[in-house]
Structure 1
Amino acid sequence: MINHPSITRTVALVSSFMLATLVSSVAAEPVGSDLTPKLRGLLIKEMIQVELAMHEVFSAIVQGRHAMVAEKGQSIHDSFIMAQSLTDEDRQDLKASVPPEFLQIDTYLHELSASLAEAGHAEDTPRQVELFGRMTETCVACHSAYVTDRFEGLEASDVPEEWGLAPEELD
Structure 2
Amino acid sequence: MKNIICISLLAVLLPGLSYADDQHKHQEPVKTQAASAGVQALSADLRSLLSQEMQAIQYGMMSIIPAYASGNWSEIETTAGKIKSSYILMQHLSKAQVEELHSLLPAEFIEKDENFHYLAGMLEHAAKHKKPELVNFYFSEMNRSCVSCHSAFATHKFPALSVKPKNEHAH
Instruction: Map Cα deviations across residues 93-140 of structure 1 (whole Å, 9 max, x no partner).
Output: 111221111111112111111111111110000000110011001000
Residue 28 of structure 1: SS of its match in structure 2? helix
Q: Counting helix residues as a fraction of each chain, which structure ranks higher?
A: 2
- C-alpha contact 1:76 1:110 (8 A) present in aligned 2: yes
**Residue 121 (structure 1) aligns with:** 128
Distance 1:82 1:42, change over 3 A: closer
- Tell me what 1:156 maps to: 163
Q: What is the aligned partner in structure 2 of residue 15 from structure 1?
A: none
- How many residues in Structure 1 have an aligned counterpart in Structure 2? 135
Stretches of 4+ aligned residues off by more than 3 angstroms: 24-27, 80-85
Work out whether residues 68 and 76 of structure 2, in 8 Å CA contact, stay in contact via their aligned partners in 1: yes
Q: Give the Å deviation of 1:82.
A: 6.8
Q: Distance in 2 between matches of 1:25 and 1:115?
A: 32
Instruction: Please tell me whether the aligned partners of residues 80 and 110 of structure 1 are also in contact (alpha carbons under 8 angstroms).
Output: no
Task: Report the CA distance between 1:51 and its aligned residue.
Answer: 0.8
Q: Hey, what does 2:73 align to over in structure 1?
A: 66
Which amino acid letter does the alignment assign opposite residue 148 of structure 1? T
User: Is residue 82–residue 91 contact of structure 1 (8 Å, CA) maintained in 2?
Assistant: no
Name structure 2 gaps, 5 residues minimum. 1-27, 166-171
Root-mean-square deviation over aligned CA pairs: 2.3
Task: Give percent identity, aligned residues only.
Answer: 27
State which drifts further: 149-158 or 30-39.
Answer: 149-158
Letter in 2 for 1:39: L
Q: Which string of whole-angstrom CA distances, capped at 9 and with x for unpartnered residues, describes residues 22-63 of structure 1?
A: xx9655224321221122112211211111111111221122
Aligned partners of 2:43, 2:157: CA distance in 1, in Å? Answer: 18
Compute the displacement of 1:81 (Å): 7.3
SS of 2:40's equivalent? coil
Cα distance between partner residues in 1 of 2:143 and 2:164: 14
* Corresponding residue number in structure 1 for 2:59: 52
2:122 maps to a residue whose letter is S
Distance 1:82 1:47 in 2: 10
Counterpart AA for 1:45 = Q
Please say which structure displays the higher CA radius of gyration.
1
Uncovered stretches (5+) of structure 1, i.e. residues with no partner: 1-23, 159-171
